[in-house]
Amino acid sequence: MSDAAFREEVVRLAGDEIRTCIQCGTCSSSCSTAHLMDNSIRKLIRLVLEGRRREALASESIWLCTSCLLCTVRCPRGIRPKAVVSALRQICEREGISSRDASFERIFMDQIRSKGRISEVLLSAAYALRNPDAAVPIMEMGIELLSRGKVSLDPGTVKGMDEIERIFRELGND
Ligand code: SF4
Ligand code: SF4
Residues 36-61: pLDDT tens digits? Answer: 899 999 999 999 999 999 999 999 89
Give distance in angstroms: CA of 72 to centre of ligand 1: 9
Looking at residue 107, its pLDDT comes to: 83
For residue 62, give the ligand nearest its CA: 2
CB atoms within 10 A of CB 87: 23
Looking at residue 173, its pLDDT comes to: 61
Q: Is 67 in the pocket of ligand 2 (CB under 6 A)?
A: yes
User: pLDDT confidence of 32, banded at 50, 70, 90?
Assistant: confident
Give distance in angstroms: CA of 173 to centre of ligand 2: 15
Q: Is 65 in the pocket of ligand 2 (CB under 6 A)?
A: yes
Q: Is the pLDDT of residue 174 over 60?
A: no
Say what the pTM is: 0.72
Q: Is 53 in the pocket of ligand 2 (CB under 6 A)?
A: no
Q: Is the pLDDT of residue 82 over 70?
A: yes
Q: Is the pLDDT of residue 11 over 90?
A: yes
Cα–Cα distances (Å) from 141 to 7, 101, 106, 128, in that order, read 43, 19, 21, 12
Is the pLDDT higher at 155 or at 87? 87
Q: Is the pLDDT of residue 15 over 80?
A: yes
CA atoms within 13 A on the CB side of 90: 17
Q: Is 68 in the pocket of ligand 2 (CB under 6 A)?
A: yes
Looking at residue 39, its pLDDT comes to: 95
Phi, psi of 85, deg, nearest 5: -60, -45
